[in-house]
Amino acid sequence: MSDPNPRIEQFRKMAEADPNNELGHFSLGKAYLDAGETAPAIQSFQRVIDLNPEIAKVYQMLAEALLKENRKPEAIDRLTQGVKVAGARGDLMPKNEMIKMLKDLGAPVPESIAAAVPQQTVGQGQVLCNRCGKVGRRLPEPVFSNAQGKLIQEKICADCWREWIGMGTKVINELRLPLSDPQAQKIFDQHMREFLNLT
Ligand SMILES: [Zn+2]
Distance 195 CA to ligand 1 centre (A): 11
Nearest to 13 by CA among 28, 32, 26: 28
pLDDT of res. 17: 87
Task: Determine the Cα–Cα distance for residues 138 and 190; give it in Å rounded to an integer.
Answer: 23
Q: CB count, 10 Å around CB of 17?
A: 10
pLDDT for res 118: 59
Beta bridge partners of 136: 127
* Distance between Cα 22 and ligand 1 center (Å): 23
Distance 90 CA to ligand 1 centre (A): 9
Tell me the backbone φ, ψ of residue 101, rounded to 5 degrees: -65, -40
Find how far residue 156's CA is from the centre of its chain.
Answer: 15
Residue 76: closest CA among 31, 108, 117: 108
- Binning the chain into helix, strand and coil, the percentages to the nearest 5 are 65, 5, 30
* CA–CA gap between residue 97 and residue 163 (Å, rounded): 22
Helix, strand, or coil (residue 126): strand
Question: Please, what are the domains in the chain?
Answer: 6-114 (1.25.40.10), 126-195 (1.10.3880.10)
Ligand 1 center from residue 35 Cα (angstroms): 32
pTM (two decimals): 0.75
Distance 167 CA to ligand 1 centre (A): 14
CA 164–ligand 1 middle distance (angstroms)? 10
- Cα of 123 vs centre of ligand 1, distance in Å, is 15
Instruction: Kindly give the distance from the C-alpha atom of residue 125 to the centroid of ligand 1, in angstroms, as a whole number.
Output: 14
- Ranges of beta strands (E only) in 7-131 are 126-128
**What is the Å distance from ligand 1's center to 177 Cα?**
26
Q: How many residues does the chain have?
A: 199
Cβ contact 79:71 at 8 Å: no
Q: In this structure, are residues 32 and 8 in contact, taking their beta carbons and an 8 Å threshold?
A: yes
pLDDT reported for residue 117: 57
Q: What is the distance in A from the centroid of ligand 1 to the CA of 158?
A: 7
51: Cβ–Cβ under 8 A, 6 or more apart, which residues? 20, 22, 25
107 CA distance to ligand 1 centroid (A)?
A: 29
* pLDDT digit string (tens) for the chain, length 199 residues: 456 788 899 889 888 988 998 888 999 999 999 999 999 999 999 999 999 999 999 999 999 999 999 999 999 999 999 999 998 887 888 888 999 999 999 999 987 665 655 567 889 999 999 888 888 999 999 999 999 999 999 999 999 999 999 999 989 988 888 889 998 998 899 889 988 988 7
pLDDT at residue 49 in the model: 97
Centroid of ligand 1 to alpha carbon of 116 (angstroms) = 17
- Residue 130, number of CB atoms within 10 A of its CB: 18
Residue 84's nearest CA partner among 54, 43, 61, 129 is 54
Ligand 1 centre to CA of 126 (Å) is 11
According to DSSP, the β-strands at 135-137 and 126-128 are antiparallel
Q: How far is the CA of 138 from the centre of ligand 1 (A)?
A: 9
Runs of H (alpha helix) within the chain: 6-17, 22-34, 38-51, 56-68, 72-89, 92-104, 111-114, 147-155, 158-174, 182-195
